[in-house]
């Protein structure tokens, strides 16, 4: 068993014997996908909702929800996962600073976009720990399907 670290604007897929971990989920969102029958899990750490709003979006597709989630699905399918069996758990999307304009609330926009894309892909969200005003570290255990959220001021939760 190995811990595979996913950086900001990154994604990885693995077999159920590994653990996926990502740190520093503030306004970013971590998307955990699992096909338990195939024994394949994946995690994406997205920064922004939409690649079309960035001039460098095409060069950095793993940073954006609209491009990273389809990429994660394709990578999982290469390892034998079936799109129809995928299930999701998501975390992050916090409002890290006082914001008076919803347009600048990246956390809420990230969560909304992730949910819209997963709905479009017909992937149900089984659990989520999103919003609020604190950062999270996410551990995903594909072998059990558990998403563990660790937050300095809010303890540890398993979903």
Model confidence over 41-96: pLDDT tens digits?
Answer: 999 999 999 998 766 656 689 999 999 999 999 999 999 999 999 999 999 999 97
On the CB side of 25, CA atoms within 13 Å amount to 31
> Mean pLDDT over residues 111-122, rounded?
98
Task: With cut-offs at 50, 70 and 90, classify the pLDDT of residue 23.
Answer: very high
Mean pLDDT (the chain) is: 92
Domains of the chain, first to last: 3-151 (3.30.1330.200)
Backbone angles phi, psi at 43, to 5 degrees: -140, 135
pLDDT > 70 fraction of the chain, expressed in percent and rounded: 92
Q: What is the pTM of this model?
A: 0.93
Cα angle at 96 between 69 and 107, to 5 degrees?
25
Task: With cut-offs at 50, 70 and 90, classify the pLDDT of residue 131.
Answer: very high
CA 18 from centre of chain: 17
pLDDT > 90 fraction of the chain, expressed in percent and rounded: 83
Answer yes or no: 32 catalytic: no
CA dihedral over 13, 18, 23, 29, signed as positive or negative: positive
> Mean pLDDT over residues 117-135, rounded?
96
Are the CB atoms for 12 and 43 separated by under 8 Å? Answer: yes
pLDDT over 80 at 100, yes or no: no
DSSP state of 74: H
Cα dihedral angle (58, 64, 69, 70), rounded to 10 degrees? -20
Q: How many residues does the chain have?
A: 159
pLDDT at 26: 94
Catalytic residue selected from 28, 29, 73, 114: 28
């Amino acid at each position: 068993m190995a811990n595979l670290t996913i950086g900001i604007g990154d994604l990885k897929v693995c077999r159920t014997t590994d653990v996926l971990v990502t740190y520093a989920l503030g306004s970013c969102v971590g998307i955990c996908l699992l096909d338990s029958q195939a024994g394949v899990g994946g995690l994406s750490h997205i920064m922004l909702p939409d690649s079309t709003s960035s001039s460098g979006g095409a060069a950095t597709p793993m940073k954006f929800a609209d491009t990273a989630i389809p990429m994660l699905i394709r990578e999982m399918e290469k390892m034998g996962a079936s799109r129809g069996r995928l299930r999701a758990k998501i975390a992050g999307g916090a409002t890290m600073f006082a914001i008076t304009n919803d347009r600048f609330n990246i956390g809420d926009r990230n969560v909304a976009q992730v949910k819209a894309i997963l709905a479009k892909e017909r992937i149900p969200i089984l659990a989520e720990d999103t919003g609020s005003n604190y950062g999270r570290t996410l551990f995903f255990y594909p072998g059990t399907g558990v998403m563990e959220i660790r937050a300095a001021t809010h303890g540890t939760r398993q979903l």
